[in-house]
Structure 1
Amino acid sequence: MFGDYSIGDLGAIFAMQGFAGLILFSVYLLMALGLAIIFGQMGVINMAHGEFMILGAYVTYLCSTFFQSYLPSLFPISFFVAMGLAFLASGAMGMLVEWGLIRFLYKRPLDTLLATWGLSLILQQAYRSIFGAREVGVELPAWLIGSVQVTDTIEVPINGLFVMAVTILITCAVALLIFRSRFGQQVRAVMANRAMAGAVGIDTEKVDRYTFGLGCGIAGVAGSAFTMIGSTGPTSGQLYIVDTFLIVVFGGAASLVGTIASAFSISQTQSTLEFFLSGSMAKVLTLLAVVGILMLRPQGLFTLKVRR
């Protein structure tokens, strides 16, 4: 596999694929953060998580089109507006879904899985009816186009650097929210002991709704980031949902550090293998490696000790 390349070529290849892996890592991490909050904190298996991501992507597409048509002078800042609207739209839909569906299915994981799988199919058909079956692309502002020349053989796309910066900011914000805010204390209290949290005056239903909305809102931001590296279609979210669940389980449910480490290792491995092998073979080898590690450590890379 490596015999046809010199040491210098391999170094450049690994560097380029490493940067490409960081971009993939950013999208994976944004998706996994939202899912880790929902699955890790609430125990809900949300198979429609990819559709919340695609909702954010479509909101970004609509926002970009609107600014191009009616506010061309403000088009350079359209992406920041789109990310905020994507978070609000996906978060609001998430809270609506929690109120209308999920709250009746807590502690029934199989029912939750089937219900959210049906919801994902409904949302896919809704996107197909509204936006059409063809994939759509988002035109980026001029300042996000181009690349930074690191060396003679290595270039880093500017939009990739922007996605990584957004991912770092959101990850830090989520960490502060969960571990340093009153809302985060309530979320962790409900996760640790729902009955006791309710007994001390915490509105557990309200915490559940806001937590589910937060996870879906972060998925919407992931959809905005996704528009920079791929086109958006009604079924695009399903391409990422399996990898996202794999990241959350591999990293350890409810562990922020584990989610980050898992997303990084899986994205880097997959990105590097895809250069030397086919995309499907790279996924198979990555999956086999993760399954092998989970057989030795079923709780994932990191785990939290919680009293039950």
Structure 2
Amino acid sequence: MIGDFTYSEFFSILAMQGFAGLILFSVFVLMALGLAIIFGQMGVINMAHGEFMILGAYVTYLTSTLVTAYLPGIFPIYFFLAMALAFVASFLLGVFVEWALIRHLYRRPLDTLLATWGLSLVLQQLYRSVFGAREVGVTLPDWMMGSVAVSDMIEVPINGLFVMALTIVISIGVYFLMYRSSWGKRVRAVVQNRVMAGAVGINTKKVDRMTFGLGCGIAGIAGSAFTMIGSTGPTAGQLYIVDTFLVVVFGGAGSLIGTIASAFTISQAQSTLEFFLSGSMAKVLTLLTVVGILMLRPQGLFSLNIRR
């Protein structure tokens, strides 16, 4: 016996908490991948990143509503369409924001923090005006409902499995885009030496704009995934922005492997501690542990050698 639980019950609960941590890990990775591209590659502190995620969630909600009303025949596969639209909407807004605001603030991190924080407030009010203050949810296709029985005491929700599979696909796609494509080479060239990259003919302004848009677009996909595990409201993005920055900084800015490892560590720690403690205490202990590690290793778990 462990407390009031038998050994079988205790380890089953730990397994369930571990899987809940994997779902949280998936959301963290999808959010942090976009932020790692923006913050790690461009040095821009984007406090409105959560609002780009919520834009993707609202696009998914609108797609669900419109398909249900006008195109019920494609409802079983509408979620894939919704994710594509969420990416496009967040990408285009990101490109516009970079052109209208961010490009004037490069190499001024405090100014980007304040400007994007103001942008987040504007977007929150815009969402509140358009969609209302109440939280909304999407209707999932039947094949995403239910759970898979792993054992007599452990059941895994199907939508959680879908979110994890989506995370794996997006992570692999980002890896090949950043490290195995000609565009990724241009991005890394601009990060390592902007002046030299411009001298050899790389359009650094276009690279910046597309990079910022890509990071925002991935946040939009994270918003689509978020609708499967939570309801969408104007301020829902702010619940994840601090944890997402924590994941990026702890993993090492600009490191894809570090981002994934950091997201896994933090999500599993929070999920496991929540079983023994309250949710707020779990966050506090996780934060204190991460801060302590960063004091010993300020560059994060993984670091890149970048010429400034």
TM-score, length-scaled by structure 1: 0.99
Letter in 2 for 1:13: I
User: For 1:212-250, what per-residue CA distance to the aligned partner results, in whole angstroms no more than 9, with x for missing partners?
Assistant: 000000000000000000000000000000000000000
The residue correspondences of 1:97-112 to structure 2 (distance < 5 A) are 97-112=97-112
Specify the alignment match of 2:80 in structure 1. Answer: 80
Displacement, 1:10?
1.9
Equivalence for 1:135:
135
- The answer for the alignment partner of 2:167 in structure 1 is 167
Measure the CA separation in 2 of the matches of 1:39 and 1:306: 14
- TM-superposed CA distance for 1:5, in Å, is 2.7
| Residue 289 of structure 2 corresponds to residue 294 of structure 1 | no
Query: Which letter does structure 1 place at the counterpart of 2:273?
Result: L
Alignment match, 2:258: 258
What is the CA-CA distance between 1:6 and the residue it aligns to? 2.7
| Map 1:63-212 → 2, pairs under 5 A | 63-212=63-212
Which AA in structure 1 matches 2:107? K
- Structure 1's consecutive aligned runs of 4 or more residues displaced over 3 angstroms after TM superposition are none
Aligned equivalent of 2:278: 278
Look up the equivalent residue of 1:301 and give its one-letter code: L
The 2-side partners of 1:271 and 1:226 are apart by 17
Any idea what SS the aligned residue of 2:10 has?
Answer: helix
**Counterpart-to-counterpart distance in 1, 2:122 and 2:187:** 30
Question: What's the CA shift string for 1:54-87, capped at 9, x where partnerless?
Answer: 0000000000001100011110011000000000
Alignment match, 1:238: 238
Between the aligned residues of both structures, percent identity stands at 77
Q: Measure, in 2, the Cα distance between the counterparts of 1:276 and 1:224.
A: 31
Larger deviation, residues 10-19 vs 90-99: 10-19
**Residue segments in structure 1 that go unaligned for 5+ positions in a row:** none
* CA shift for structure 1 position 305: 1.2
SS in 2 for 1:156: strand
Task: Output the amino acid matched with 2:121.
Answer: L
- In structure 2, distance between residues paired with 1:232 and 1:84: 18
Q: Which amino acid aligns with 1:66?
A: L
Q: Please name the residue that 1:307 is paired with.
A: 307
- Distance in 2 separating the partners of 1:235 and 1:274: 23
Which residue identity does 1:170 align to in structure 2? I
AA partner of residue 68 (structure 1): T
The one-letter amino acid of 2:99's match is W
TM-score by length of 2: 0.99
What amino acid does structure 2 have at the position aligned with 1:237? G
Output the amino acid matched with 2:276: F
Aligned partner of 2:59 in structure 1 is: 59
- Paired with 1:73 and 1:101, the residues of 2 have a C-alpha distance of 42
